[in-house]
Structure 1
Amino acid sequence: MVFAGATAAAVYVPDEQADRLRLSEAVEENPEDGVRFPVSFALSGRSAVAEAFRTRHPVWHASAETGGAEVAGPRAAASGAAADATGEDGGEWLEAVPLTCGETLLGCLVVKGAGLNGVEAERRGFLELYADQVAARMESEGACAAGGGVSGPVPAARSGGSGLGLGDLGSLTLSPANGRIEADRQALDLLGLAEEDFDGRVETVLAQTVPEDAPALMSVLEPSAGWPGGHDLEFRIRRPGGVLRWLRLRFQVLADQGGRPRLLGVIAEASYLRSAGDQVSRLQRLSIALAASMTVGDVSRAVVTALRDPLGADCVVLAELHAGRLVVTGMEPQELAVWGTWRSQWYSEWPDASLGDLPTLESVLRQGRTRLWPSSIGLEPGLAATGPGGFAALPLPAEGRVAGVCLLGWDRPHEFGAEERALLTAAAGLIGQALARARARDAEHEFTATLQRSLLPRTLPVLPGCTAVARYLPATTGLAVGGDWYDVIPVSDRSVALVIGDVQGHSVEAAAIMGQIRTAIRAYAVEGHPPDVVMSHANRLLIGLDTEAFATCCYVAFDVEEGEAWVVRAGHPQPVVRSPDGCVLEVEAEGGPPLGVIAEADFPMTALGVAPGAVVALFTDGLVESSKLPLEDGVRRVCRTLAAADPGGADRTADELLGTAEWREDDVALLLLRYDGLPIQPRRASWSVWRLPDAVMHARRFTARVLRSWNETREADTVLLVVSELVTNAMTHTRGEAHLHLTLAGERLRVAVSDSSPRAPVKPASIDWMATGGRGILLVEAVCAAWGSVPLSGGKQVWGEIELPPEPAAAGARREAARS
């Protein structure tokens, strides 16, 4: 299946004393015919074997005589191209593939055969995979010493021998399009499957795998044609009788003629790499730690803990690959100066670098293979100081791509044994899968958190005479986005609306409905509707959204001047009020059904008096109810916490209340309002504007009388000018009733004119000297500290505020005496 017409294979290793490549082992199809390979090749010769060893690249040669011919590389390539073009069946072929251990050359794998009509791309791909497995076996036999060079004897050449296990390698192919596997007898034997019983299904192979290793193997069995280079995977299968066997799969993905991916794999026994029990235990500990890791940060800490001390590494770095940049997610020790070209850009606490600045790591990620160096000295500046005594780079495969890289460095000379290399290769697969899972979780959390934040108020407004604080916590189970919301709505200069609600469910749909309901309630409130009308409108809106979801809500309209409130509930928990003397009581507010249940539901209002120093608490049921906590007990606990809290610290009180929800099965929203009262009670006066030709004159006279009664002479001309312009605007551009409102609060005097037209005034972009109108709003803007227009009960209110200059102490005393 692997080599069409292959008849023999051999391994040549360098003989440094004789400057030649000597035969180490050979396997013949017909051993009785005798060994057909030359005993040695000169390293300086022009044979395909010597050329492959010198250039470190495979050499393919087609010729009638290939056994020991001293053939030049260029002529071999030309001969091979001609044979491919003719498609002839006759002749022989030979391919030599270098065997490497890190940066060290171990020798060459040579395969000979007859017939030139094979699938050349697959054959050459398999040869490279076989060469990798043979090199790993040679390494385990002591043929590769840490730091380079060939050391120790290599088993002697023999026909049909198995010193290097050349006959113990199995091969398989996979077509992801149909999920069918073709495997030779050796591969099936390694997998513990009988050749006559194998049905070619992926599921049959996965059934032999230990459950902990199945996810990594599944990611291999669903490859994409875009995977570059070769990849390693070590996994365990359970043999009959329960015995575990470690296998090493070396594979690469090619595209067939139709562009569909096709996986080529060579599988070998890897138990010899697992002789030390501590290596297995290290992998088990790493696997357990990664399974419990929920975030990328957790994965980074687990990797550092599992690899640094057990391997004696002086530094460990874990980096993710993002759009051509390596972003460090974990580093120990955390000394950024060591990393040269790495610089902080995306995450302020970690550095990152472009792959273009780190060609060594770029090559590792492109090949997808673990690389080991006896020293990092001589590498690019970003890596030169990481491992003077030894340096390892582990590409992290995950879901058909390379997710990142793990770097380990040693300050003192470090020898890489076969067992350690196997440990690092196996660890890379585990880390890559865990990193991909954690990145998906982090992305989901970021999405839900961003969605939730965008639907809730970013900040709460500054309110006169009171302080509002809010808290939101997502549920600790399920999707971290829900339908709980809160809002604080300044309705006018003297009233504010507190809203809290909960849409049924924990989903993106619940969050979307919550955003619509919150926006609608805010709009209804700002328009000036009373609390019961606001709730009725929101109820009909939710019913019209064509959703099965419903929502509970509590709306409190609060007058900050008088300390009076109106409470409306729609199936929501009662508000809780802490009086200034520390007594805490639930508000007995009559309620209606949840929003979205009954179209014509009534929502009665309940009056509530609030004294200065009191705290009003609104919350969702996630704070007071769970499967282990009845609602009544949760409310009592909140009352006790609120009674013992310091009413002067609203933020600390909110944090203490959240501490009562230890395990959140539901999300939690909390809204607190501490009412302090106004230090200076505003003075107000109102007048209905008559629609007469001299309406502006009457409005100015009324304003003058009010200012005299208030003993207020500061900025009187400015106030009268603003009254004239606002009343003129209402008389000219509207119909129906108009009302003038004057409010004096401290050093600010507010002039407001309300009318029945919802159209807001428009400030002209430019006015020439011949214009007869449009200057009024420009004058108001020029003389007022602030001005604006707000909707009000189907109409609008246009207002302007005039700042009054400080008055002398004697004038202030006379004013207070007159007021008293």
Structure 2
Amino acid sequence: MVDRGATPATAPAGSVPDDWPARPEVTLALNRMGGFDWDLDTGVLHMDASALELFGLTPEEFNGRLSGLAGKVLAADAADLDAQITRALKEGRETYSAYYRIRTPDGALRWTYAQGRIRRDGEGRPHRIIGIVRDAAEELGHSIGRRDENRLSHTTIVETLTAALAHARTVQDVIDFFRDDRAVQHLGSDLLVLGIVEAGRIHMVAEGPGEHYVPGTRWTRIDDNFPMSDVIRTMAPRFIESREEFARSYPWLWERIRDTGISSAAYLPLIAQARPVGAIGMLYRETRGFTQQERNLLIALSSSLSQSIARAMLYDQEHDLAEGLQQSMLPRRIPEVPGAQIAVRYRSARMGRDIGGDWYDVIPLPGGRVGAVIGDVQGHDTQAAAVMGQLRIVLRAYATEGHAPATVMARASSFLHELDTDRFATCAYAEADLSTGVVQLVRAGHIDPLLRHTDGTCRRLPVSGGLPLGLSAEFGRLDYPVTTVEIDPGETLLMFTDGLVEQPGSDLDEGMQRLSAVVRAGPYELHQLADRLCDVIGERVGEDDMAVLLLRREGAATRGGGRLQQHIAPADPEALSAARHMIRAAVRAWGARERSDEIELVADELVTNALIHTDSAAVVTIRIITGPERRVRVDVEDRSSTLPRRREPGESGVSGRGLLLVDRLADVWGVESRGTGKSVWCEFVVPGRHEVYDEAGESV
């Protein structure tokens, strides 16, 4: 029999403390270790008190989301951490681990270690990460150590520095590394300074440990009497082996640093592609000489650092170029469109990747219409941004020329195919008449838009689609079906790129469901809603950029009143089809279904006459006229001053006979001269607003 109350055999000798053995939470807290539980489906992140303490946060300050840790983790380390988590999720791994630096409330940097175990559902999708975080400062301090304590060789220092800077992508990443107090331990010195050549001068960008800024040395000239100036000017290292040598060679600087106890120093030029990019100074409190082996190894150290800085400078230049190119390609401003509220947002990927080809555009059109475009060019580089800019311009040009939505998309696809590029693009284009709420949608391999109703509910709009731009032209499938919907005043059309909904480990439908939930719970004010959608990107791991366009129809809901207009270019059958579709939808929206066939037939005849007999574009306008009698009026304008002539059946030929049809079907018609041509118009009496129709268009 085992005595359950007996003291375990492993108990300490003598009396057993009341709290022995220590509870798990006590053990974790004493060793500066905390736990976290991250729900990937909802984005909720739970961190216990010990974990929050490591990040310098109180439970009241933490919002329970990943965004609550923003600014705590060093940017370069955050990118690496995101990359490791994403790879673990994609590759189906069960665990991940990483070291990273966090910024403490006093501004210092401290190493931290995190390890997480990934939980997946029955279908293998990741839905939860449970793990620990702990203080790694002492651990890394023991592994790296100070030079005086562990006597690390200079070879180890060079290797350690190279490894530490391997992931530095930007110049700021390099600067952050050298501003860390632990940088002097990497280098085996007591103090260090780092200067970068900028615009012909030397900019002191980092000192360590802590701030040892000497007034007058933040910016210096290359021809000044400073050790950094000497090594940059001569592109040769400078070794100072005693306090006397320092005072003799640089008296002004020595007077200002002598109290720091510095006795010797090594200043090394940073040279890349045969030109100096900066210099680093390692200062020691001991008086020492530098053997030839030490000098050679320190020169090797400067070479490694030079490559890191040169690589970071090149990355910064390329990124600035790409970002500037993209910003110049996106619209500088979104025009104000009467009858609509519009909000747009663009967010680049969170993981430090180059910008991509996501874009948006808003195109004011005649007759109270507006075009809205959202698209995504394949790739994340300057070529993607350049192709994006060209596509945006041609789409705008085709739309403003008056082409129907399907024609705009087909011509844009042909343009991209002829660019001699291997890129394709997905795109969605919406042409909305704000007076009636009729929206014509076309889609080229893009994600369906969402529609948010006035009560906050949200639904996906299934839009018939064609192949992505470029591919449809390559395979000869340029047909883009048009989907027509109606949006009421106060309703919002949401168009976006896949970066908003795609997430590692889940499919598109799940992403759309999550987005719909965010939209339903989001604020009503349009710009606040757009900001909330951007926050979705900040709360999860993501590798893609994102563009979003929100269009809300304004005005009071009315039945009757309104105006639609369509520009029809010669030899554009898609535009003629789109005009028929527009008329049919408008007549239905206005409650005049019983006369829709007559109105569509007459309008088609007038448009055909304008295109055949004038050899120019036509503009068809349909609007509702209220008064004693409620009428639908159709106007067809062209640039010819020749008036149409009605011919009797007995005359030879067939030209002009269509006007007989117009005369029979329309209640009244006529011709008006315009300054640049003429307008043929006709009117149809339709039921008043008090009449109600069923789904078949019959009066009830």
TM-score by length of 1: 0.45
Q: What amino acid does structure 2 have at the position aligned with 1:667? A: D
**In structure 2, distance between residues paired with 1:352 and 1:679:** 64
The equivalences for 1:54-203 within 5 A come to none
Structure of higher CA gyration radius: 1
Cα distance, 1:673–1:318 mapped onto 2, change above 3 Å: farther
**In structure 1, distance between residues paired with 2:208 and 2:561:** 66
Matched position secondary structure for 1:339? coil
* Offset from partner CA, 1:641-695 (integer Å, 9 cap, x none): 1111112152454443552573334432222234443799999999xxxxxxxxx
**In structure 1, distance between residues paired with 2:195 and 2:271:** 13
**1:635 pairs with one of 498, 512, 516:** 512
**In structure 2, distance between residues paired with 1:670 and 1:360:** 53
Q: State whether structure 2 residue 526 is matched by structure 1 residue 677.
A: no
Q: What amino acid does structure 2 have at the position aligned with 1:531? A: P
Contact 2:344–2:530 (Cα < 8 Å) also in 1: no
**In structure 2, distance between residues paired with 1:738 and 1:589:** 26
**2:486 pairs with one of 583, 600, 609:** 609
Partner of 1:584: 458
Partner of 1:291: 166
Contact 1:572–1:594 (Cα < 8 Å) also in 2: yes
**In structure 2, distance between residues paired with 1:488 and 1:579:** 21
Partner of 1:484: 358
Structure 1 residue runs of 5 or longer lacking an equivalent are: 1-272, 343-350, 687-734, 743-753, 759-794, 798-820
Contact 1:360–1:380 (Cα < 8 Å) also in 2: no
Cα distance, 1:678–1:441 mapped onto 2, change above 3 Å: farther
Q: State whether structure 2 residue 201 is matched by structure 1 residue 325.
A: yes
RMSD of the alignment, in Å? 4.6
Contact 1:638–1:660 (Cα < 8 Å) also in 2: no
**In structure 1, distance between residues paired with 2:426 and 2:619:** 38
Partner of 2:369: 495
**In structure 2, distance between residues paired with 1:737 and 1:502:** 33
The equivalences for 1:494-643 within 5 A come to 494-596=368-470, 597=472, 598-599=475-476, 601-625=478-502, 628-643=505-520
Higher-RCO chain (CA-CA 8 Å, sequence separation at least 6): 2
* Offset from partner CA, 1:4-46 (integer Å, 9 cap, x none): xxxxxxxxxxxxxxxxxxxxxxxxxxxxxxxxxxxxxxxxxxx
Partner of 1:354: 221
Cα distance, 1:515–1:289 mapped onto 2, change above 3 Å: same
Matched position secondary structure for 1:487? strand
Cα distance, 1:325–1:658 mapped onto 2, change above 3 Å: same
**In structure 2, distance between residues paired with 1:424 and 1:736:** 76
**In structure 2, distance between residues paired with 1:637 and 1:482:** 24
Deviation at 1:521, TM superposition (A): 0.7
Deviation at 1:587, TM superposition (A): 0.5
Contact 1:319–1:328 (Cα < 8 Å) also in 2: yes
Deviation at 1:499, TM superposition (A): 0.2
Q: What amino acid does structure 2 have at the position aligned with 1:439? A: M
**In structure 1, distance between residues paired with 2:202 and 2:505:** 46
Contact 2:179–2:210 (Cα < 8 Å) also in 1: no
Q: What amino acid does structure 1 have at the position aligned with 2:311? A: R
Deviation at 1:333, TM superposition (A): 7.7
Contact 2:170–2:316 (Cα < 8 Å) also in 1: yes
Structure 2 residue runs of 5 or longer lacking an equivalent are: 1-147, 565-615, 624-635, 641-675, 679-700
User: Higher mean Cα deviation, 374-383 or 664-673?
Assistant: 374-383
Q: What amino acid does structure 2 have at the position aligned with 1:356? A: D
The equivalences for 1:396-475 within 5 A come to 396-408=270-282, 414-416=286-288, 418=290, 425-475=299-349
Q: State whether structure 2 residue 245 is matched by structure 1 residue 370.
A: no
Deviation at 1:401, TM superposition (A): 3.5
Contact 1:569–1:592 (Cα < 8 Å) also in 2: yes
**In structure 1, distance between residues paired with 2:618 and 2:548:** 41
Deviation at 1:531, TM superposition (A): 1.9
Matched position secondary structure for 1:397? strand
* Offset from partner CA, 1:420-442 (integer Å, 9 cap, x none): 96575554333222212222222
* Offset from partner CA, 1:233-272 (integer Å, 9 cap, x none): xxxxxxxxxxxxxxxxxxxxxxxxxxxxxxxxxxxxxxxx
The equivalences for 1:182-261 within 5 A come to none
**In structure 2, distance between residues paired with 1:387 and 1:312:** 20
**In structure 2, distance between residues paired with 1:297 and 1:565:** 47
**In structure 2, distance between residues paired with 1:428 and 1:609:** 66
Contact 2:154–2:294 (Cα < 8 Å) also in 1: no
TM-score by length of 2: 0.52
Cα distance, 1:741–1:318 mapped onto 2, change above 3 Å: farther
Q: What amino acid does structure 1 have at the position aligned with 2:205? A: T
Sequence identity, in percent? Answer: 33
Cα distance, 1:499–1:312 mapped onto 2, change above 3 Å: same
Partner of 2:135: none
The equivalences for 1:264-283 within 5 A come to 276-277=151-152, 282-283=157-158
